[in-house]
Amino acid sequence: MKRVLEENLIYEILSVVEEIPKGSVATYGQIARLIGRDKNARLVGKVLSMAEYYGEYPCHRVVNHAGRLAPGWIEQGDLLRNEGIPLKDETHVDLKKCQWQFCL
């Protein structure tokens, strides 16, 4: 049986993504921790893959724990560079320089 994501959870994740400031990035794991689901980084990725159906969100500001960009999303690097986010190479941001420092 296929599980359906609850809309409340989807909007909870997207509301955190919406808070990531221009010029910063967050990891899937950071977002999962912020919503109280420490071990659900993949769930965050799944929701972000469907974000276009729920409005406009800065999903390009979310990377994996190593700073790697989403595979197959060629425009992500350009969107980040346009916001002044430094890339270490073509597929990774420099998390030490631009990771979102949020306060709980």
Query: What are the Cα distances from residue 76, in Å, to 36, 68, 72?
Result: 27, 11, 9
> For residue 40, which of 78, 77, 80, 5 has the smallest C-alpha distance?
5
Q: Annotated active-site positions, please?
A: 59
